[in-house]
Every structure is written in structure tokens, then in C-alpha cells.
Structure 1
Amino acid sequence: MTHNPIPTKEQILAWLADNPDHGAKRDLAKAFGLKGTAKIELKRLLKELAAEGKIQRRKRHYHDSDSLPPVTVLEVLPPDAAGDLWARPMEWGGAGEPPRILMHLRRDDPAIGAGDRVLGRIAKGAEGYEARIIRKIGVASHRVVGIFRKGAEGGRITPIDKGDMKEWIVPAGAAGEAKDGELVEAEQTGPKGRMGLPRARIIERLGDPSAPRAVSLIAIHQHGIPDDFPDDVVAEADAATPAELGKREDLTDLPFVTIDPADARDRDDACLVLPDEDPANEDGYILWVAIADVAHYVRPGSALDREARNRGNSTYFPDRVVPMLPDRLSGDLCSLHENVPRAVLAVQMKIGSDGRKISHRFTRGMIRSIASLEYAQVQNAREGRPDEKTAPLVDDIIAPIYACYGALKRARAIRQPLELDLPERQIVIDAAGKVASIKFKERLDAHRLIEEFMVLANVAAAEELERLRKPLLYRVHEEPPADKIEALREVAQASGFNLAKGQVLKTAHLNRLLEAAEGSEFDELINISTLRSMTQAYYAPQNLGHFGLALRSYAHFTSPIRRYSDLIVHRALIAGHGWGKDGLSQADIETLDETGQHISDTERRSMTAERDTTDRYLAAYLSDRVGSELTGRISGVQKFGAFVKLDDTGADGLIPIRSVGREFFHYDREAQQLVGADTGTVIGIGQRVVVRLAEAIPVTGGLELELLELDGASLPGGGKGGRRPFKHGRKQGALKAKKRAVARKVKRTRK
């Protein structure tokens, strides 16, 4: 009996390429007439081809790595300029980039858009791959950033996210050129496997996780922040030329100045204060605020506009900025450089001696800043220590600015916006990209006056667009919910303070609480707890007011370089005044709700990325101090442990409750306390602690602490005979917590 000879690897590859629908091992055996031991040899050849990356196996079927299987999962890409919809395969083992696949949609197909996933039937057309939808299977890809650990067949990824302890499996052929211990970004390619772990494909290698400046890079990829501008966006920005005066109002004779941080990367706002010569406004002021005219360069529907909306805002890290606009605009044409004519949208505001805004007037103009100043430089000049640059400006420029601010402070005191005092941390990075120091930024009147000028300009913009009856995006900050205020009241009472109850909450009530705590050991705790009780601000075309600033109408107008919301407001003003064809478009108006939601989401994304980066830098900075004793205050309590804000750096660390004593701790959610079942030890918000730094993990930003002292006293021993009285302790803790809850209820009823 004769058998057909074993096919060569080249013959197997050729057959798979010609028969993509018949890739099962039995199909190959039948095609080549293989039986008995010859099938074993075929199996060996297929395994070798798969190991070499020349074919892939999926559900017992083999296919050519440089071609696509007849049915596969696709991710939908954005439409091209012609409106055609394209997709890319979620799994690709071939050489080079995965192919783009043209989607052929039928009338009864589900609606799909960029980021959606579909199961598609693939065919090879005259100009490449084409696909039809079998079914829609999901929206957007799930990605992870983590450390790759190479294995015998592929490897695993350990996520860097503190909250994600689940590993991801990387099958053979899906690791690319990633090396063991390297930081990578991967996307999920399939559901959980036999071990309950998701499968992933590495899409980008990010290098050594301990390398300088890797911290912000981790956040950028982890949160999906776009950091590379597409070629067409860069081309548009590079082609831009400085705006001409044209029909603009010529304001170049007015002595505007910019006042910014010493490390400012752009200067998009300028100000000027003049005495008001109107007899009807005795001792009043004329306040000018001029903002870079970004709308002139970023036109509705352009590539620059699409990318700016996609990003939503700039994201700021200690070592880099991910800008909303390319540097040609943000660092040049839209930056109000000293002695350079620059296009602006400006508002002239008449201010009374009592600090009230009497009137305002908007214009589209051209200014020429006479000086680029720094906050500390201006403050020093005000306090009698001018330098060479500020000395000529003290009397005519700086003095009127502070005088106007003095009047605005009086109006602010009557309005009573929320007066939180939370020092801002500054992470100083050295030339090698490592943390040189952690310090708290000094708050000067120079900072406060610019903030007050900008708030007033934002109010004027909202009021002007309401007067013109033009749509806009408001900056909305709603009143805090009752449950959060009740939680704040609990913290205040536990700290010896009182927050009035039974009345409509106003910022003035919260300010009285903050004032009572000022200077006490609970100062920072009350400030943090008040901040946590607030709702998160957002953008919307509906005006629901701004609770924190105690303002009826508020919009963002003063920073269109770094916030898309401000660009929308600029366009609305341009359209309302008929200043050009680059105003708010009909497409802008129709999508205001969607835009507001999108840029609110991108803002939160940036805030989270910035916070995560700060945590990682702090963990890196403290990693050399593991084993040291540190002081701090408990800032939060959960069932699994207590969070501590450390004094010297402001870093947040966790005391796992499993590491405290030998007794069971009951979690009292209402009182925000952990209570020892045997000793009665209470761990609650606001208590002073001494802790030992047990672990600092720079990659995740995690700090684990060991509790040594609580309110100046060592911890009492717990448990019996060195054992943890788990069941008995649980009952005791629950009974004690129930008694405290009843006592609080009775106390409130008696009031």
C-alpha cells in the first residue's frame, strides 16, 4: 500500500493561501492524501509553521499569517475623506502593518462607527480586502498598559493600574518584539481563556518602566490621551500665518502685560487696568482682558478643529505637556509674546469702586504686550522690590492692577464664593528626569488677582451671549447632593465644628465652617472633606449656574489654547457680533450637547492621568525612604483600610486593616470609622498618625503604610492568645456600631 509523500512547508502554505475556508488539519490531510503516521508528521509541520509565525491557528483552523481568515473580528476605523468606512483586523500575524479592510454595508446592517467591533466575512477584491458584517459584537477596544513577562508560548502582562490585579495572557505570535520586563500597551483580542484571563495582543512597546520620564508616558497610554498630531493637523498649523489687523480694532497702543508662572509654556491672556475718567464712576476702573484669537486659526470642520475637539483640552504633567493644539499655534501664533502684534478677542469692563461690574464691551482686536511678567516678579515689585523690568511699570501698570483687585475682593466678600485653601503640590524634575524635590506652591496676590480678572471675563462672556441669544457651553457646577453634605457634617462634628442644618445650602455656610477650622489641626481635613462633598463641574448648553463660584451664569472664555470649551465660546461671540465667517457653525450648534459631554469626559480623563502621574512620582521619590517613620493624618476610611495624607509631601498611602493589631475591625460606613472588636480602638477621619513606610511602588504609585501611633498613643494589643478573634469580633464590632448609630439618631431627633 502506497502513501502520498509528506508535503513541504511551502506546499502547505500555498494550499492554505488558495483555500482560506478549509484550514482544518483534516482538510489538509484529505487534500494531500495523508493517513496514519503521516498525519502525525503533518501535525509537527503545522506546529513548526505556527512557531515560525508563518501561519496562525484559530479554533482548530490554520491560515496563512500574511492573509486573513474568511471570518474574523474587525475594529471599525474612522471614515476617509470620501466617506468610506474601513476596518482593521483585531489579530494579525503577518509582516508589517495589518491591512485596511473596506466595509460593504447593506441596508439592514446595524449602525457602526469608529471604535466598534464587528464579526466580518472577509473577501479579497481587486484592490485589497473587503468585508461584510456578520454581526456587531461590541464597542471600542479594551486596552491595558503593563509589564510584559515572557513565557514559553507568548507571555503575560501585569497591569500597572493599582486597581487591576488581573494578568492578561499574550498568545504566541502576539508579543511582537517585546522583551521581558518591558513596559507595553496591549489590547484585548478575545474573551477570557481557560484560566479566566483575557487574551491580548501587544500593540506598542513603551520601553524601560524605570527609565526617566516614563511616568507621564505610562499615564498617556494608560488613559488613551492622544499625544501625536496627525500629519494633516501639523500641515495646517505649519501653513498658518500671523493674523492681520484688517477690520480688527487696533489696541496696540494700550499697555497690556501678561502675567504667568515662571515655567509658562504659553501666554494666552493679557490684562490692563486704567482709571475710569467717567465722573459717574468715581474711583472706578476700566479693566481689559485680552485672550488669544484661536478661532482665527482653528476653523470649524478643519483638521485642526477635529483634533482639538478630539483632545478636548491640554494635559499637564510635571515633565511634559500634551497640548490641545500644535506648538506652531499654542507656543507661537496664539501666544501673546512681548512686543509682537497678536490677534485677540478682548473685553473692556467698567468696574465700580465697590468691585461690581457695571458694564462690558467685547471686541475683536490686535494688541502688542509691552511685557511678559512672572507672578513672583510682579509681587516683588508690588512689595517694593522691583527688578530692572518691573521698575518702570510699578506706578502706571502694576499699582492700578492691585487697586482694581482690591475693589474686586470687596465684591467677592459679598458674593461669598467657596474659599477652599488647598496648597498645590509642585513636583520638581531634574535634568535626568527624576524627582529632585516636592514642595507646595506659594499663593500670592499676583495669582489671585489674575484669577479674579479671568472669572470676571468669563462671567461677561456668558452674559454677553445670553444678551445676544446665542447658544454656548456653560461651565456648570451644581449644588452638592444631600448625602455628601451629611457626610461632611459628620466629619465636622467629629472634629468639633458645626455645619448648620435645615436651610438652603449656600457657599457662605461652607465658608463659615472653613473659617472656623482655619489654623486648627483640622484645617486641611475640613478643606479636603469640603472639596470631596462637591459635585464635579461639567460643560453643557443648559445654564444650571455655578455653585462653587456663587454665580448665576458662567462660561469658559479665557483659555482657548488649552480648552475646546473656550473656543466654542469665542466662536459664539464672533457669530453674535458678525466679526467673520469663522464663528459658531451650524454643525457646532447641532452637536453642543454631545460636545459638552465629550469635553467633560476628556477633562476628567486628563485629571485622572495627572493625578496618577503625581502618585507615581511621589512613590518614586519616597522609594528611598522605605522603613522610615512619617507623620500624617487619616483622610479616608474604607472596609479594607485607612488612607493617610502624609505631612511632608502630601502623598496618600494606605494602611491595610489586616496589618493593624490582631483583632477584627468593624467598618462603620456612616461614621467613617474602623472599630476594634476587642480593644474598641477607633480609626477615623482626621486622626493624627505616625506610620512606617512599608512599601513604595513607583510603577503603580502605591504606598503601603504600617500604623505605629494613633493620636499620639501606641496601639493597644488585640486578640486573645495571639489569635485573631474573627467571628466573635465581627459580632462585637457590629453591636458597638449599632449602638453608636442609635445614639447619633437620638441626638439628631432631640435637636
Structure 2
Amino acid sequence: MSIQKRILELIHREGPLTREQILQKMKVNNDLRKEFKTLIKNMVKEGQLYKDEEKKFHIVSKENLLVGTLQGNEKGFGFLLPEEEGVEDVYIHETKMNSALHGDRILVRLREKREGDKRLEGIVEEVLERSTKTIVGTYDDAGKFGFVIPDETRMGTDIFIPKKRKMGAKEGQKVVVAIDKYPTPSRKPEGRIIEVLGYPEDKGVDVMSVAYSMDIPIEFPKEVLEEAKAIPDTVPANSLRARLDLREVKTFTIDGADSKDFDDAISIEEKENGKYELGIHIADVAEYVRENTHLDREARERGNSVYLLNKVIPMLPEELSNGICSLNEDVDRLTLSLLVEIDIEGNVTGHKLAESVIRSHRRMVYGNVSDFLEDNSKVHYSLEGFEEELLTMEKIARARLKKRNERGNIDFAFAEPNIQLDEEGRPISITVEDRRFANQLIEEFMLLANETVAKEYSDKKLPFLYRIHEEPDEEKLEVLNSIIRPFGYHLSVSEEIQPKDVQALMKKIKGKKEELLISTMVLRSMQKARYSYERDIHFGLAAEYYSHFTSPIRRYSDLTIHRVIKADLNKQLTSKLIARYQSIFPDIASHVSATEKTAQEAERKVADVKMAQYMMDHIGEEFTARVSGITGFGIFAELENTIEGLISYHSMGEFYHFDEENYRAVAEHSKKEFHIGDEIKIKVVAADPIKGRIDFSLGGEEDGEESREGNAGKES
């Protein structure tokens, strides 16, 4: 029995005990007292134990207590989001917050439900873990002292700044503040300014504010930069020994026009047997970033590069990401190459992995390649001499896409924004991103590589990281069915759902009025893709084996499996190394899943900020939009270029309520309804670039006259 279980059993048996009583009753000798004290402290942090005012420890699960994360609200109240599955959120009145801040891990005592209560309510007993160490906000100067007003309004408080700790900040500037003293019931939090970002309208301040607010590391530590600078910027001859030399093979990259780090290059050669050798060449970052170096530890901590429109926060210093690791044109580069034997119909008949050296002969851009594939007479100078290779690759990529679709690949095809900025970082146009075939061509080959590598190392039963996307759970599918049933659709949950079932539904709704609603609800019913040490399916891709192998410059997951592959190729996978990988890979999978989520949230926030900036010049104008979301406080509407704004129920002329079961907003008196996908007229009312929020009101002659009434329009 573990020590934690023994402590829990002791308290369960004898009731609340002080730390000293626990140590005495467990007969802990002096040599182990420190370790036991740390263990008890950790059990409190983990939410297993709770310490009362008499310093006695209670078992949380026996005391009507819940552990979870506080979700604050700008009005002062909050909600506990419980860690225990299946427990509803708990409302916490602003007078019951006990100095907890948004994002804190807290312990909440539930109030007994009274007759008429519609929700659980509670009081914060203790803050178990402070989540916020730094805050981004606007400096408000008060002479002898100042305050920072957080951008994150859910913090519910500003931060007091003593005069000596203002770091020269001026009124109205955006700053980063470190919290030195957390709040008490009688005192605001106190902090010191550690970075002055500049005025909100200064170039880059908006983007950097988002990055700092999400604790994304910006600068590299000195020791990391020193290691990076010590790496040669050319490939030394002695590193080519025993490598497969592919420098004479016609190899090229296809990337965005603004790309500076090139993870992957491709090549194709016809073989004597009439098949092709498709080369997928990936930067051998592991050759330069060795385990347990400063570079490696920093890359692991960052987890991935973050792309914030015109600002890249790289996983690796520029000397590597844009230099020696990047597959730049006309220079030797070390790679891991997957050489796939494939026919023109996309059938794979063999493959080989090898440490290699390549020389990219051409740097191509997606737009130019797409122009050529769509019209073979449009040959940009960068494509000259590669026309035959591109046309052959197109045929194979289309065949691979067809095969993926046949096995059940799910394509949600939501519109993505293309935000164009001027030299000062201001948005000048927002359009829908084109989905052209050059991007698809590269995607197909990268998918092929990721699947091939995952299957090989799963078969070898070696430690590995997989990219998994588990099948949706039955409860979410039941909710989905309740929404799609009125339209005449159904997904079977009596048997194990298959990707083809979802794919068939997506095909049926294509072009229908209900497409946006059902696509949105299907996506919400899906699990989130993540990294895992244990192999599982990738449901969305209908793939039994899947990994991330193709981007080691910008993803630590890829760098991790490259190390396994290289050790395997070089016969260096000893039992000791395998055991070490087995012990650390689960933690790496969990960590890089978390950093990926942070990066995605940051990218979305920056897009929201730029969209709000863009719409500031369009306040008062009317547009046609589609209802894109429905909540308890209003409906969201999306313009054709993907800009989204909120129409609050308060602005809609009469009271509306959210009918969650049928996913609609219904007016109390007129019975007007709004459904996802409805076309409406909107007027731009306000835009807040700091919050990344846009407010609409209903436009048109009759404020929502284009909404549907009663049950009209519910037929498929």
C-alpha cells in the first residue's frame, strides 16, 4: 500500500489530524520527517487533503468539497470547473471568492441545495495553486504609485504597483507585471513591472501582449543562444560518413511565400520497374539538438513554434531554425529520408528510412505551383525544369487523397481567414484562405510519411510518440443525434462508430442550409487530437497508425521520434535507452499536447485582435452574415470573410432564450427563432482590439426579419 493511501486510511479511521499527529501515529522517524511533510503538502496541492483553520487535515472527498479550476467573470463572480468528471460547474458569488483569481486551482465547499436552486453553489475554501505569475495589462499612473488593469477582464481586479517598481512605464502603455503578493480579502494583488511593451497602437505590441499573456517564452536564455552559435553553419564533411548521399537527386521545397524555416523537401524518380521512388526528406534536427543540452531542454519546454501572423516565436534559435537545420536552396543539409516505392495510382509497395544528405535544387511557393497545376501553361521561372516531376506528383497525390477518402477521411472544410497586414502590422484586408492543390500535394506526402513511420515503429514495438484522435464517446454522439434527427439524419451508436459513418453524414449535408449547424456540432462531438505514448487510431484521418514525423524544426514531438529512428538505424537502441524512453515519453506527450493547445489559443487570439482592429473602420456599416453560434447570452454571426461578432440578446428588442436541446434562440413573445446557418443582416456596433471582441446588432428593415418563425425551415 502506498504511503498516500496509508495517510488517507488513517484520517478516514480517526478523523481530522494535524501534521504532527499524522507523523506520530505513523511512527515516522526523524530521518523521514522532511519527506513526509513534503508528501502531505503535495497531497493538499493535488486535492486529496484539505487543511482547516485548526491546521487539521481532512479528506476532500468526505467533506463535500470539490477541486477544480476557477473561471472568473468580469462582473466579479466565478465558476468552479471541477476536475472530477461528470460533476456540473459550481457557481461562486463574488463575496465567496476568498481572494482566488481566474485560472487558479481551488478547493470549494459546496452549499447544500435549497428548494428552487437551479445550480450548485459554493465557497472557495482554499487556493491550492496560483496559475497566474505574470499579467499583461495597461498601466494607470497615479503619481506615487500605479495600477495595471489586466487585459484579461476575468481577473476581476487590477494590480497595485509601488512607485519604485513601475520600471519607467507611462500612462496608457501596455506592460507585463509579475505578481509579488497575491490578494487578500482586504488588499489588492501587488506586483512589479518587468517589461514595458509600448503603447497599444505601436507596431507589434498587440501580438506580443497575447504572447506574454499566455506565458509563451519570447527570448532564448543566454546559454541556449551560446550553444546555437557554436554549431557550424555549414555541413562538415566528416558528418556525411555512412549517410545516403542524395545531393544529385532533383529535390525541392514547396512552402508559403513568407516561410523561412523549411522542414521538408520532396523528390521523385521513375524506377526501372515503372514505379516511382518518392523521396520525403525531413531536416535532421536531432543531429544538432542533442538530448539534455540547453538547446534540448529549451525546445522541450517550448514544445513547438508559435506562428502569430507576421511574428514567429520559434522552438529553436534562428541559427538552427532558419539556418543549418532549414532545407534552404543550393546548400547541403542533413536529413532523415523516407524513400517510398509507389505507383501512379498511389499504391505503396515498399519503403526505406535512411540518414541522408540532400541539396534542395529549388525553393518553390504554393501559389506558383498551384497556378501551374491548374493551368500547365503558367510556368513560373522557379518551376522551370521541374514540370514533369510536379505533374507526376500531382497524379500520385490525387490518387492518395482518393484512397484516404475511400477509407473514411473526414474533411470539415471550415473557412480559414487570410489576414493581410501592412508594414506597421495593421490589418488591411481579411479574406478566406484559398485551398489550392499545391498545399494538398504536400499534405498528402506528409500524411503518407507520418503513417508509414508510425506503422513501422508500432510493428517494431519500440518507444514512440503517436498522434492520436480517439473515436467520439457515446454520450456526445447521443447529443449530436438529438440535434440532427429533426433534419432526417442519424448516426448509429449501438455499434462502434466508424470514420466512414461521419464522412457519409458530411457528404449528405454538403450544400444544404443545415450544413454549418451540423458540421459545427459534429466537430464539437469529436475528441481533441493529442500526442500519446500509446498507439491509438486517428479517427479524423481514418488512420490506424499516425505520428508527427515531418516538422522537427517546429515540433518537439517530431524531434523526439527522430531520436528513436536514428538510434534504431545506427543499432544504438540499448535496453537501458529503451527503458529511459519508456519512462519519459508519456510526460513528453502530455507536455507537448499542452503547449500545442496554448499555441493554438494564442494564434486564435491574435486573429481575433486583428479582426477587431480591422472592424474599427467599419462601425455603423451593415453586412450580410450567417448565424455561427448560439449561447445563453446571445448569438454569434459570421461574415463571408470569417469575421465573427456577438449579437447580445439585450440588443434584440425582446427577450430570447437559448433552447439548448434544439440549438436555437427563441423569442419569448414573437416566437422568432435563430438557428446556426441562418442568413441575417447585421450592423457593426463596436470593436475592442484589446479583448479581440466585435459586437453586432441586428440590421435590416425589421431587426431579424430574415430569421425563421416557429418550426418553419426545420425540414431537411
Q: 1:172 to 1:376 in 2, by over 3 A?
A: closer
8 Å CA contact 2:262, 2:326 repeated in 1: yes
Shift of 1:363: 0.4
In 2, the alpha carbon distance for the partners of 1:632 and 1:388 equals 41
Deviations 1:378-426 (A, max 9, x none): 223332111233232112x212211221331332232121122122211
Name the residue aligned to 1:533.
Answer: 525
Q: 1:171 to 1:491 in 2, by over 3 A?
A: farther
Name the residue aligned to 2:589.
Answer: 596
Name the residue aligned to 1:83.
Answer: none
In 2, the alpha carbon distance for the partners of 1:198 and 1:442 equals 47
In 2, the alpha carbon distance for the partners of 1:192 and 1:712 equals 45
How large is the Cα RMSD of the aligned pairs?
A: 3.0
Q: 1:630 to 1:571 in 2, by over 3 A?
A: same
Name the residue aligned to 1:363.
Answer: 354
Name the residue aligned to 2:659.
Answer: 668
Per the alignment, in what secondary structure is the counterpart of residue 216 of structure 1?
helix
Shift of 1:316: 0.2
Alignment of 1:105-124 (within 5 A): 110=38
In 2, the alpha carbon distance for the partners of 1:153 and 1:476 equals 55
Deviations 1:167-223 (A, max 9, x none): 333355443422221111223333434567433333322211221221210111000
Name the residue aligned to 1:237.
Answer: 228
Match of 2:396 among 398, 401, 404: 404
Q: 1:522 to 1:265 in 2, by over 3 A?
A: farther
Paired residue type of 1:186 = V
In 2, the alpha carbon distance for the partners of 1:711 and 1:400 equals 56
Alignment of 1:251-650 (within 5 A): 251-278=246-273, 284-382=275-373, 383-384=375-376, 385-395=378-388, 397-493=389-485, 499=491, 502-578=494-570, 587-647=580-640, 649-650=641-642
Shift of 1:689: 1.7
Q: Does 1:689 align with 2:617?
A: no
In 2, the alpha carbon distance for the partners of 1:386 and 1:177 equals 56
Shift of 1:261: 1.2
Unpaired segments ≥5 residues, structure 1: 1-104, 117-135, 717-735
Q: 1:164 to 1:675 in 2, by over 3 A?
A: farther
Name the residue aligned to 1:653.
Answer: 645
Name the residue aligned to 2:133.
Answer: 142
Q: 1:651 to 1:161 in 2, by over 3 A?
A: farther
In 1, the alpha carbon distance for the partners of 2:554 and 2:702 equals 44
8 Å CA contact 1:689, 1:711 repeated in 2: no
Give 1 or 2 for the bigger CA radius of gyration: 1
Q: 1:204 to 1:586 in 2, by over 3 A?
A: farther
8 Å CA contact 2:404, 2:542 repeated in 1: no
8 Å CA contact 1:425, 1:438 repeated in 2: yes
Name the residue aligned to 2:148.
Answer: 157
Moved more, 268-277 or 302-311: 268-277
Shift of 1:273: 2.1
Per the alignment, in what secondary structure is the counterpart of residue 385 of structure 2?
helix
Shift of 1:679: 1.7
In 1, the alpha carbon distance for the partners of 2:518 and 2:400 equals 27
8 Å CA contact 2:463, 2:578 repeated in 1: no
Paired residue type of 2:523 = L
Shift of 1:444: 1.4
In 1, the alpha carbon distance for the partners of 2:227 and 2:573 equals 18
Q: 1:668 to 1:240 in 2, by over 3 A?
A: same
In 1, the alpha carbon distance for the partners of 2:578 and 2:490 equals 51
8 Å CA contact 2:465, 2:561 repeated in 1: yes
Paired residue type of 1:458 = N
Paired residue type of 1:566 = D
Shift of 1:545: 1.3
Shift of 1:240: 0.8
Q: 1:431 to 1:598 in 2, by over 3 A?
A: same
8 Å CA contact 1:266, 1:330 repeated in 2: yes
Per the alignment, in what secondary structure is the counterpart of residue 386 of structure 2?
helix
Shift of 1:565: 0.2
Deviations 1:292-325 (A, max 9, x none): 0000000000111000000000000112100000
Per the alignment, in what secondary structure is the counterpart of residue 530 of structure 1?
helix
Moved more, 635-644 or 316-325: 635-644
Aligned length: 589
Shift of 1:554: 0.7
Paired residue type of 2:176 = E
Q: 1:198 to 1:707 in 2, by over 3 A?
A: farther
Shift of 1:365: 0.7
In 2, the alpha carbon distance for the partners of 1:165 and 1:685 equals 32
The percentage of aligned residue pairs carrying the same residue is 32
In 2, the alpha carbon distance for the partners of 1:710 and 1:188 equals 51
Per the alignment, in what secondary structure is the counterpart of residue 360 of structure 1?
strand
Per the alignment, in what secondary structure is the counterpart of residue 613 of structure 2?
helix
Per the alignment, in what secondary structure is the counterpart of residue 358 of structure 2?
strand
Shift of 1:250: 1.0
Shift of 1:608: 0.4
In 2, the alpha carbon distance for the partners of 1:318 and 1:371 equals 25
Q: Does 1:179 align with 2:170?
A: yes
Shift of 1:358: 2.5
8 Å CA contact 1:668, 1:675 repeated in 2: yes
Task: Please report the TM-score for the alignment, with normalisation by the length of structure 2.
Answer: 0.77
Q: Does 1:198 align with 2:198?
A: no
Paired residue type of 1:264 = S
Moved more, 320-329 or 166-175: 166-175
8 Å CA contact 1:688, 1:710 repeated in 2: no
Paired residue type of 2:664 = Q
Shift of 1:586: 5.8
In 2, the alpha carbon distance for the partners of 1:260 and 1:185 equals 35
In 1, the alpha carbon distance for the partners of 2:208 and 2:165 equals 22
Paired residue type of 2:248 = D
Paired residue type of 2:612 = A
In 2, the alpha carbon distance for the partners of 1:484 and 1:636 equals 18
Name the residue aligned to 1:47.
Answer: none
In 2, the alpha carbon distance for the partners of 1:524 and 1:346 equals 41
Q: Does 1:699 align with 2:690?
A: yes
In 2, the alpha carbon distance for the partners of 1:166 and 1:505 equals 47
In 2, the alpha carbon distance for the partners of 1:285 and 1:511 equals 31
8 Å CA contact 1:188, 1:201 repeated in 2: yes
Name the residue aligned to 2:241.
Answer: 246
In 2, the alpha carbon distance for the partners of 1:175 and 1:238 equals 35
Shift of 1:579: 6.3
Paired residue type of 1:288 = G
Q: 1:352 to 1:394 in 2, by over 3 A?
A: closer
Unpaired segments ≥5 residues, structure 2: 1-32, 46-126
Per the alignment, in what secondary structure is the counterpart of residue 180 of structure 2?
strand
Shift of 1:251: 1.3
8 Å CA contact 2:612, 2:688 repeated in 1: yes
Moved more, 495-504 or 340-349: 495-504
Name the residue aligned to 1:224.
Answer: 215
